[in-house]
Amino acid sequence: MTLAVFADGVENPANLDRIADAARLLGATRADTVSGHLIAVENSRGARSVYGRNPLNGAATIAVGNERRGVSAHVLDRADETLVIPTMSRTVTTLNVAAAAAVAGWYVIRGSASQAMAARPDHRRPALLIVGDDHVEAGSTLRSAAAFGFRDVLLEDRGAGWFEGTAAVRREARAAARSHKNPLRIHRADLRSAARFEEIVLVSAFGTAPPLRRERLIRGQRQIVVIGAAPDELSTIASDRLRVTTLDLVPTPRPPLRLVASIVLAEIARQVGRRRPTPGRPAPRPPTYETALDLASPSETRLVDASELLAY
């Protein structure tokens, strides 16, 4: 089994760096061209869910696309299959491109059961505590949390500046979180906040703990999932209720929070499930990038960062 990751028109150098990080964590390589079995990751018509696949058998390349335009029509036409990462939000319907590469790669390699269907998914969703020390990583993680259906998140801010950072840091963090359309309520917290829950699940990027896919993450508000902390930090707080689990990624120094957290959040969303269709009511439509507008060619457009506008 070999996997490669192809960045199709990704423009932001920071995103390219994080895509390279995602490839390393997955034990994959970065591809400069597309070849072999090609899997496009895109919210396009006819795409299959990333959930419910068999584990990868053989070699494949996953392609993730431009931050605004997505995967190009040329790559989509060449793709052997197209996968969509199902989101649960009406307003935040896409992930950061590097987070999408990590999530898609993790499921392509390992496979999974299909996403569950439930009468009341929100009652099955556990609480979430994020521990972050980088403002962009924390912001991008909060974007993923909203996309996968969370409405409240506990955040231990270890220097990420989400609550008390400079104006520039907070702007960048909130831009990464897509705060202009992100409905999340973010609560200041620390690891001691986990002690009030009956069950604490700490997820590590790698290690010898049991794998995440064997952990039941559907116990609602009795259960809290903690991402970004070390096991020994929680063992002194509530060792009798603590379970440690791992994503079984390749050991890498300081794995980016957005990549680790987005995989965990995707697995929570898979287990929690989508609302079971009500007889007589149409099923919710899946998210799509397609619109009635004709997009301008790349040569006719210019990417402007929000921080540039603030200089005017």
- The pLDDT confidence band at residue 291, using thresholds 50, 70 and 90, is very low
Across the chain, the runs of DSSP E, i.e. the strands, are: 2-8, 29-31, 38-41, 48-49, 59-65, 81-84, 117-118, 127-132, 152-157, 185-188, 199-204, 223-227, 242-246, 274-275
pLDDT at 294 over 50: no
What single letter denotes the amino acid at residue 47? A
pLDDT tens-place string over residues 150-173: 999 999 999 999 999 999 999 999
- The pLDDT confidence band at residue 233, using thresholds 50, 70 and 90, is very high
- Number of helices (H) and strands (E), helices first, in the chain? 9, 14
pLDDT at 293 over 50: no
Give the mean pLDDT of the chain: 90
- As a whole number of angstroms, the distance between CA 93 and CA 23 comes to 23
Q: Do domains 2-110 and 118-273 have the same CATH topology?
A: yes
Mean of pLDDT values over 223-229: 98
pTM of the model: 0.89
Give the per-residue pLDDT at 302.
55
Beta bridge partners of 293: none
- The pLDDT confidence band at residue 305, using thresholds 50, 70 and 90, is low
For 161-165, 232-236, 263-267, which range has the lowest pLDDT when averaged over its residues? 232-236
Give the per-residue pLDDT at 292.
40
pLDDT tens-place string over residues 19-72: 999 999 999 999 998 888 999 999 998 899 999 999 999 999 999 999 999 999
Q: What is the token pair recorded at 38?
A: 């090609």
pLDDT tens-place string over residues 183-208: 999 999 999 999 999 999 999 999 99
What single letter denotes the amino acid at residue 128? L
Give the per-residue pLDDT at 282.
58
The whole-angstrom distance between residue 107's C-alpha and the CA centroid of its chain comes to: 12
Mean of pLDDT values over 295-302: 49
pLDDT tens-place string over residues 246-261: 999 999 999 999 999 9
Whether 150 and 269 have beta carbons less than 8 Å apart is answered as no
- As a whole number of angstroms, the distance between CA 296 and CA 83 comes to 25
- The residue extents of the domains of the chain are 2-110, 118-273
CATH of 118-273, one of 3.40.1280.10, 3.40.50.620, 3.40.50.720, 3.40.50.970: 3.40.1280.10
Which residues lie closer than 8 Å to 269 by C-beta, 6 or more apart? Answer: 86, 87, 88, 115, 148, 149
Mean of pLDDT values over 85-94: 94
- In this structure, which topology does domain 2-110 adopt according to CATH? Alpha/beta knot (3.40.1280)
For 97-106, 232-241, 300-309, which range has the lowest pLDDT when averaged over its residues? 300-309
Give the per-residue pLDDT at 289.
45
